[in-house]
Amino acid sequence: MAKLALLGGSSVVQPSGASSVNPWAYRDLEEAFVRYTGARYALAVTSGTAALISALVAAGVGPGDEVLTVAHTWVASVAAILRCNAIPVFVDVDRRTFNMDIEDAARKISPQTRAVLPVDFFGLPANIPALMDLAASHGLLVVEDACQAGGAEIEGRKVGSMAHLTAFSFSGKPLSGEGGGVLTTNDRRLYEKAALAGQHPSFLSRHITDPDLRPYIDFGGRGDNLRPQKVLTDAVLHDLYSADLRINARIANCEFLTEKLSATGVIRPPHVPRGYKHVYHLYTCLLDIETAGLQRDLFLAALRAEGIPSTSYITHANFYFTEGGRPLAAGPIHLRTVFQEMDFYGKGCPFLCPHATRRPDYSRGSLPVTEWLADREFSLLQPSLSYPNGKKEMQQIVDAIHKVLDNAEELRTADPASFVGGAGRG
Amino acid sequence: MAKLALLGGSSVVQPSGASSVNPWAYRDLEEAFVRYTGARYALAVTSGTAALISALVAAGVGPGDEVLTVAHTWVASVAAILRCNAIPVFVDVDRRTFNMDIEDAARKISPQTRAVLPVDFFGLPANIPALMDLAASHGLLVVEDACQAGGAEIEGRKVGSMAHLTAFSFSGKPLSGEGGGVLTTNDRRLYEKAALAGQHPSFLSRHITDPDLRPYIDFGGRGDNLRPQKVLTDAVLHDLYSADLRINARIANCEFLTEKLSATGVIRPPHVPRGYKHVYHLYTCLLDIETAGLQRDLFLAALRAEGIPSTSYITHANFYFTEGGRPLAAGPIHLRTVFQEMDFYGKGCPFLCPHATRRPDYSRGSLPVTEWLADREFSLLQPSLSYPNGKKEMQQIVDAIHKVLDNAEELRTADPASFVGGAGRG
């Protein structure tokens, strides 16, 4: 009965302007990202947040589960946990690296802990090898938030190849500023489960091989739409070709700053442990406010008045986070409104989920180092650190910082709102 | 103390290649969409799914709440409800319009119902005026899923201006195929609450005016990242200029098909109620399988062998949903695995949420018209219906359909898998 077909189809013209879903459009980026990171599998998604959500879904994180993470991070690391109806348990950070404190992580593991979500904050990898050891001894999975750290390394291994699952972002990041995100893993089953978080049925029907998972294809897995558009993934792919060139130029600028700022005595430049490659999404220092005799926000107001793009990422959420030109107060994640109220998502979900076994502790004082850092850290923002800027511009930054520090006494009596680009605390 | 600032900043160069978050990049599309639909507010997001999620968050839908929707739809309408931890309650559809049956909707309202989510399926608006009346008499909000119906109208009013909240998609849709989505509303507070579903703190700090909502800015509202990239919104904006020209050319093609196919006696073309403008994302007909003496899947296999892009959208999820070239079985949403098992999201969430008051009914037979349609409907796919295709190509489609129908007797004994582009049922 092939006769009918053999009569010849009429082959109606498909106008090129009428695009349809092309579920394979982003395979090029995925393949390039596998080569770049050394991971076995890569999944392109709409954002770093979407990569984190996909990773947590792959890790089987659900209602009542606890996930260890840090409060010294961008909102996405924590929002992704809430998205899976799981409960963030905050671990304090290391005073030098600003990243997850391994000993505090070990202390906070409970029978409800399902995963550990360390953040490679500001571009410096967390201590992933130590966390993988810790996770192995407790049967946990490590979901690495490398959204700010694409291109970073530990002992020559690129982030993305070490943790069970790693999330990347390309929204204004050193690797690419074009938008979207990618998830990597070395485990085929985790890759397939991550795809079930939000890929198209047509994509899933080709990439899900596990017979336990295939029945869920017909609803697109969880049915979220986390698919990036080709116009985005093509732009990121283009950036990937020059990623290490650009990142290395940026590192050279930051190392110049570190050499010069170390000499101030009151500014502690970013600490980079031996064997680590920091990509400096932000260049984040500590201001020794006691020795400088200057509050951090006053210092920042003066620095911005000098034309240096800078912020307190944690305290003011970020540089753009302004109201009438003034940064709004935010602070570490555990102190923000959603966590203090535990009610924004409806009926106490997920914090006070009936499946949870204890009430989370988001009190002030619960994370001493995180809270101590919040009053002392400041960041130089990423555009000014990038190629084609070089030593000349870095020296301008150093000069401006010296100028502010040299005028500390005069500044102490000032109203920060009186500065150009003022920086009151909300 | 303005002295320091007046010394003149060093104004470090900002390289243009190093992009950062620009939270206002998509305002142009939003403003154009307000003009296009006549709605008061528009919010650009990453997808139609993201628009639906934002709308449901704005409507205050949360754990244990019920949302009325249809099982005769794409997965996104329902996934967005699950995303808010709410419970989909399926309403049957009208046999002629394929859209939500108003009387069945009225019957299924319970004390737990929070919102009604009708779908403008295939491009034909649901009966929004009747649903707005029903919602008003029960204190509910109407979230219109117009993802397939951008540009459609009722009595000269564009969809987007009538319901409390309306979601649009630009992923392979007649209005634009570029990707992303938009949410519209006429209510300022709903607009602000929708933005809290997933916009950036910097965007929120400028657009949230309600003092009750402002405290949540510091976590980006729910902290999801539903922000579209400018490269996407610019492409959609470009399409919007020619939207009605392209849609009207498409409608002329579809009306030509309707005139010709009505004459077959066994194919019932799309029904368009008086005063409605159907944009035909898909051109969906009913095959009278009893009169034709031909099963729908056999008919479709033969039609595709003739080169006509066509599918059963519900039964086979969509045209691309294939495995080894064969469409996989899917069926109406309530019969898919996630709903039959009620366990995929962890601990029975959200279906069997401890906050829910009854077990949802997703049994076969619970939606008689939806299930009846699933065996009889078929869709001509969107690219072939679009400009520059015209009457010549439409006549080719009509001829192919006649050819298949004329050979019905021979086809009846055939194995559909033997056709080019075969169409077995999984």
Mean pLDDT lowest among A195-204, A272-281, B411-420: B411-420
pLDDT, tens only, A282-299? 999 999 999 988 999 889
Taking CA atoms, what residue in A is nearest to B406? A4
Q: What is the mean pLDDT of residues A199-223?
A: 89
Contact A215 B9 (CB under 8 A): no
Same-domain check for residues B232 and B261: no
Specify the pLDDT at position A15.
Answer: 40
pLDDT, tens only, B133-170? 999 999 999 999 999 999 999 999 999 999 999 999 99
Same-domain check for residues B313 and B165: no
Q: A-chain residues within 8 Å CB-CB of B49?
A: 223-225
Same-domain check for residues B213 and B256: no
Q: Which residue in A177, A231, A411 is closest to B19 by CB distance?
A: A177
Last residue of a domain, one of B241, B275, B299: B241
Angle formed by the axes of helices A391-406 and A243-262, nearest 10°: 30
Last residue of a domain, one of B241, B270, B305: B241
Q: Does B387 touch chain A (CB under 8 A)?
A: yes
Q: Does A420 touch chain B (CB under 8 A)?
A: yes
pLDDT of A56 over the 90 cut: yes
pLDDT of B319 over the 60 cut: no
Q: How far is it, in rounded angstroms, from Cα B280 to Cα A396?
A: 60
Same-domain check for residues B147 and B46: yes
User: What's this model's pTM, rounded to 2 decimal places?
Assistant: 0.93
Specify the pLDDT at position B382.
Answer: 76
Give which of A12, A75, A411 to mutate to test B binding, by max B Cβ within 10 Å.
A12
Same-domain check for residues A202 and A284: no
Flag whether A362 is in a domain: no
pLDDT band at A261 (very low <50, low <70, confident <90, very high): very high
Domain count, chain A: 2
Specify the pLDDT at position A325.
Answer: 53
Q: Which residue in B232, B347, B399 is closest to A229 by CB distance?
A: B232
pLDDT band at B181 (very low <50, low <70, confident <90, very high): very high
Same-domain check for residues B182 and B274: no
Of chain A residues 167-186, which have a CB less than 8 A from chain B? 171-172, 177-180
Flag whether B176 is in a domain: yes
Winning range, highest mean pLDDT, from B23-32, B286-295, B361-370: B361-370
Same-domain check for residues A265 and A204: no
What is the domain extent for residue B413? 243-332+367-418
Instruction: Give chain B's mean pLDDT.
Output: 88
Q: How far is it, in rounded angstroms, from Cα A142 to Cα A182?
A: 16
Cβ atoms of residues B20 and A383 within 8 Å: yes
pLDDT, tens only, B289-308? 999 889 998 898 899 888 88
Looking at residue A317, what DSSP letter applies? S
pLDDT, tens only, A150-182? 999 999 999 999 999 999 999 989 999 889 999
Flag whether A338 is in a domain: no
Cβ atoms of residues A202 and A217 within 8 Å: no
Flag whether A2 is in a domain: no
Same-domain check for residues B311 and B382: yes
Same-domain check for residues B124 and B60: yes
Q: Does B19 touch chain A (CB under 8 A)?
A: yes
Q: What is the mean pLDDT of residues A376-404?
A: 92
Q: Does B232 touch chain A (CB under 8 A)?
A: yes
Specify the pLDDT at position B20.
Answer: 43
Last residue of a domain, one of A180, A211, A241: A241
pLDDT of A233 over the 70 cut: yes
pLDDT, tens only, B205-230? 888 999 999 889 889 999 999 998 88
Q: Does B201 touch chain A (CB under 8 A)?
A: yes
Same-domain check for residues B167 and B305: no
Specify the pLDDT at position B115.
Answer: 98
Q: Does B309 touch chain A (CB under 8 A)?
A: yes
pLDDT band at B328 (very low <50, low <70, confident <90, very high): low
The verdict on ipTM greater than 0.90 is yes
Same-domain check for residues B214 and B282: no
CATH classification of the domain holding A384: 3.90.1150.10
Q: Does A38 touch chain B (CB under 8 A)?
A: no
Flag whether B187 is in a domain: yes
Between chain A and chain B, how many beta carbons pairs sit less than 8 Å apart?
350
Q: How far is it, in rounded angstroms, from Cα B120 to Cα B145?
A: 6
pLDDT band at A33 (very low <50, low <70, confident <90, very high): very high
Flag whether B183 is in a domain: yes
Flag whether B174 is in a domain: yes
Contact A307 B11 (CB under 8 A): yes
Q: Which residue in B15, B62, B349 is closest to A389 by CB distance?
A: B15
Specify the pLDDT at position A20.
Answer: 43
Q: How far is it, in rounded angstroms, from Cα A9 to Cα A13?
A: 12
CATH classification of the domain holding B34: 3.40.640.10
With 0-12 / 13-18 / 19 or more C-beta atoms within 10 angstroms meaning exposed / middle / buried, residue A144 is buried
Q: Which residue in B18, B307, B393 is closest to A383 by CB distance?
A: B18
Cβ atoms of residues A26 and A165 within 8 Å: no
> HSE on the CB side for B168, CA within 13 Å?
35
pLDDT, tens only, B86-107? 999 999 999 999 999 999 999 9
Same-domain check for residues B186 and B306: no
C-alpha A357: how far from chain center: 29
Distance in Å, alpha carbon of B42 to nearest chain A alpha carbon: 20
> Edge-to-edge strand order for the sheet containing B113-116?
B41-45, B181-185, B165-169, B141-145, B113-116, B66-70, B87-91
Q: How far is it, in rounded angstroms, from Cα A279 to Cα A298?
A: 28
pLDDT band at B47 (very low <50, low <70, confident <90, very high): very high
Segment holding B114, helix H or strand E: strand B113-116
Q: What is the mean pLDDT of residues A349-359?
A: 95
